[in-house]
Structure 1
């Protein structure tokens, strides 16, 4: 089951995600950028509808404001074959949330807590990767691998 859910391009909802600092839980989205037999490259993030920085939010896709790259998705825009859409305008920031994770780290989740919401297209993934690679917060240890993933899409 876990193997089927953690595939390239999958948008996965982790219900009742337990924060690493032990301070509670909340539903959290995960985007699988790529994976192999050992690792998954993921954006492990709370998407947010909060625009506390008053960033531009008129165009779908990558935007950069005040040297902050982010990916913006308007509410109710269908993201793929399953016609999944967020109910609110959604901002994806790339700060300490793009990771190379050992597949075994996902074993802590109950299979019922991992819900496949959408299969994102390669073109969507490529746009997302191009945007995230503009961030100064991408771990330099995996940046080269992320560039290779983007170039293969």
Structure 2
């Protein structure tokens, strides 16, 4: 079990991520918001460089347009100590992608498929949590836990 990689603040690339419907796989990023001995609180970042909604993309961080909160990261902005940056402007939306996932669900991945890209600073995590809590799509069952995580950072 690659427990050392599933730590708070880790930005992880999963090679050949298997979608829950079992019909497809592709490389996918996730951010570990927090974890305990049983669960990882993660955001499957659903990163996209496509701005189909024509949302403002000039400010790093959280923006809300209408009732759509999103977190924007400009390309080549270094996110932490490892100096990882996305090669394209990246939007993170919060629609059905913030989960409390059992650690055992990661057993299906070979350790070599879980690649630590960055250890995000607490200040970044706090901003991300604050932004995602503005979304109407956050699972109400874990919203209280997400609020507690944000306050502990």
Q: Shorter-chain-normalised TM-score: which range? A: over 0.9
Alignment correspondent of 1:38: 38
C-alpha displacement of 1:46: 2.5
How many residue pairs align between the two structures?
A: 153
Matches for 1:74-113 after TM superposition, within 5 Å: 74-113=74-113
Assess if the C-alpha contact under 8 Å between 2:10 and 2:120 holds in 1: yes
TM-score (norm: length of structure 2): 0.97
C-alpha displacement of 1:80: 0.2
Instruction: Output the CA distance in 2 between the equivalents of 1:3 and 1:11.
Output: 14
C-alpha displacement of 1:144: 0.2
Alignment correspondent of 1:71: 71
C-alpha displacement of 1:79: 0.2
TM-score (norm: length of structure 1): 0.97
C-alpha displacement of 1:23: 2.9
C-alpha displacement of 1:7: 0.3
Alignment correspondent of 1:133: 133
Assess if the C-alpha contact under 8 Å between 2:46 and 2:97 holds in 1: no
C-alpha displacement of 1:24: 2.0
Instruction: Output the CA distance in 2 between the equivalents of 1:46 and 1:69.
Output: 14
> Unpaired segments of 5 or more residues in structure 1?
none
Residues 28-61 of structure 1 deviation map (CA, whole Å, 9 limit, x = unaligned) = 0010000011111000133100000000000000
C-alpha displacement of 1:132: 0.1
CA RMSD of aligned residues (A): 0.9
> Unpaired segments of 5 or more residues in structure 2?
none
